[in-house]
Amino acid sequence: MPANHRYSAQTALLLLACCTVLASCSSLRSVGDSSINPINWVTPYKVDVIQGNFVSKEQVEQLRPGMSRDQVKAVLGTPLMASLFHADRWDYVFTLKRQGVEPQSYKYTVFFKGDQLERFGGDEMPTETEFIAKLGNKRKLGDVPVLEATEAQLSKAAGKSRSDTAAGPAPASAPAGSSPAVYPPLESPKQ
């Protein structure tokens, strides 16, 4: 085959392959609006990033003015930020970044006068139950179809299984009557 014909055949095959790929992409584009599109199922994995101390509504309800620093630490945990310049202020900051969900951030601050809790305030904190519900997966892959077979489908499947077993028994992986394999111990006996 002359060189000119070989290169033109390669070019034609390459062009045919490109057209095939483009045609398949255009057919997937029409399915692209569907939530059941298998292409939407495959996404890069992004790790959930949880930073800080989560403070629940139940914990905030336990705070009372006049509590000591140790009592506040026992209820809320160690503060995320305690500044040398603001020794009478503890900040509890919590941030949750998840794939496909807007980042959530909560801030709560407690103020001390000496060693006693003076006041406290911040964002409206969710209850522990509400927070756990927010951790649920937000991805929706579409409605799950009902898995029901008609009588015709069941009888057809039963007919296939009978014809498969009529061909004979399946070959066994080990010969009948053979003893199971014996393996040496993993560790040598102590001497």
CA 134-97-49 angle, to 5 degrees, is 110
Q: Where are the alpha helices (DSSP H) in the chain?
A: 3-31, 38-41, 57-61, 69-76, 128-134, 151-166
- The predicted model scores a pTM of 0.48
CA atoms in the 13 A half-sphere facing the CB of 11: 6
Task: Count CB atoms within 10 A of the CB of residue 84.
Answer: 5
In the predicted model, what is the mean pLDDT of the chain? 75
177-190 per-position pLDDT tens digit: 666 777 777 777 77
16-33 per-position pLDDT tens digit: 776 666 556 545 454 445
Tally of residues, the chain: 191
d(CA 128, CA 122): 17
Q: Among candidates 51, 48, 67, which has minimal Cα distance to 59?
A: 67
